[in-house]
Structure 1
């Protein structure tokens, strides 16, 4: 089990640097879309603008391009965006940006996936602010799928009914043998639901699958 991380001086910039270091190798190991994302996206057709928040190498942006007129893929890492460019070309508008402060207009996104990224934000305030900003950019009838690593994953020796998760680092091993620690906040399922409920998003449904929390969300209070 990874050691739990108590370093209070982590920053989003440090997390971004991690993926600049490992991005080229990391992207080669992430070829296929997650089944849970495929199922979510398949429920939508003829969508206006879609967002892949934390797009990595573009594997889920590629899915969104099949159902949306326009797709934006956003990631903090230039290395990952370079990999996404090779994969999706000009089919997706790729943007380097921060998940806490999205460089997007209010109410402009009809459909979004925010997968395997929230848990890399190094503080609860940052994670909550990111959820709030996702709510800001979603259209009144927009929907998003949010995922985060969970204590239910079998690699963690955690209580099944834990109310709070924990911070940890998990090493990534580069081809030459160098290890690079990656920050994670591993969510307890109840904590994931609380954080979404405390944000400007409304939780439509939630499930545990493959060791992750998945929440289908919509913006709170925008519909008339």
Structure 2
């Protein structure tokens, strides 16, 4: 197999401009990375069904295509098309270990700094990943990376959770972020949550959270939204790890003591909160509309997700390859 991990251009200006974007905010470290590391086996056990739209995208790729799955989780899409070659990456080492144990070609990597040479893949997918990135700049950088690593003419499929959920009652089970968590974000493009409430996470029982009226419509709390709405979009979404799971051991006890998780005896589970920025209508398209080296070839709403398919049209000015990669 050709070398896929490489050093990129040493342009000092490029490094300077991207350093803050590539520095992981504490809220992602605590409420995304550490959570998925803790729940990896249980999460994997619940993730086996393939979305039809993703399956269609992968099965329509030409035979022999190299497919890069950025944020592959437990690898449920890796190898889905037996005529293609799949390489997966994820920020969670325990999830990557699960993929490796299943025989997949994987590595630990960050979505905003993919370790592949430019133009390596024929296609790339990012399924339910971007909504875990806590700033607009980081979400845009992750999209730039997906486009960078595919060839001209290659396609990229991106899906994210939508604030417009088909089951509006789900929002009542999520905890909206308040002013307390503004300090968790760093750098430009940080979410601007303007809640009049002084409520904190610890004071909101999960079953009593209410962010909408009786018809399930969202109340106006306010946050960034490229789609032009002013709805609440920053949430903690609970993950219930049953007491009987093997993962509930000393590590989970430590997580409770450190405030990463909490016990819910009524449900017999350790509860971890995962950070989500749920996307409003038009927001995902707005992130890619200014790209000079890719165009949207399809966009759709599917199972409470906003989705786009991009086609790479040219090399961007920061996506050039040094001669050592041509053969």
TM-score range with shorter-chain normalisation? 0.7 to 0.9
Partner of 1:61: 78
| Change beyond 3 A, Cα 1:178–1:115 | same
Partner of 2:250: none
Partner of 1:106: 118
Partners in 1 of 2:294 and 2:39 — Cα distance? Answer: 32
Partner of 1:5: none
- How far the C-alpha of 1:221 sits from its partner, in A, is 2.9
SS in 1 for 2:80: helix
Partners in 2 of 1:184 and 1:99 — Cα distance? Answer: 15
Length-normalised TM-score, structure 2: 0.60
How many residue pairs align between the two structures?
208
* Structure 1 residues 87-126: aligned runs within 5 Å: 87=102, 89=103, 92-126=104-138
Match of 1:81 among 61, 77, 96: 96
Q: Any unmatched runs of 5+ in structure 2?
A: 1-24, 172-216, 220-226, 244-268, 317-327
Cα deviations across residues 85-131 of structure 1 (Å, max 9, x unaligned)?
233x1xx3101000000001001010111101111111111101100
Partners in 1 of 2:111 and 2:142 — Cα distance? Answer: 6
Length-normalised TM-score, structure 1: 0.86
SS in 1 for 2:55: helix
Partner of 2:296: 203
SS in 2 for 1:41: helix
- State whether residues 147 and 156 of structure 2, in contact with CA within 8 Å, keep that contact through their aligned partners in structure 1: no
* Structure 1 residues 9-24: aligned runs within 5 Å: 10-14=26-30, 15-24=32-41
* Higher-strand-fraction structure: 1
Larger RCO (CA within 8 A; separation ≥ 6): 1
- State whether residues 47 and 111 of structure 1, in contact with CA within 8 Å, keep that contact through their aligned partners in structure 2: no
Partners in 2 of 1:158 and 1:37 — Cα distance? Answer: 29
Partners in 2 of 1:25 and 1:105 — Cα distance? Answer: 33
- How far the C-alpha of 1:52 sits from its partner, in A, is 1.0
1:172 counterpart = 2:255:
no
Partners in 1 of 2:26 and 2:218 — Cα distance? Answer: 23
- How far the C-alpha of 1:27 sits from its partner, in A, is 0.5
- State whether residues 124 and 157 of structure 2, in contact with CA within 8 Å, keep that contact through their aligned partners in structure 1: yes
1:216 counterpart = 2:283:
no
- How far the C-alpha of 1:45 sits from its partner, in A, is 2.7
SS in 2 for 1:127: helix
- State whether residues 61 and 71 of structure 1, in contact with CA within 8 Å, keep that contact through their aligned partners in structure 2: yes
- State whether residues 52 and 74 of structure 1, in contact with CA within 8 Å, keep that contact through their aligned partners in structure 2: yes
Partner of 1:26: 43
- State whether residues 28 and 275 of structure 2, in contact with CA within 8 Å, keep that contact through their aligned partners in structure 1: no
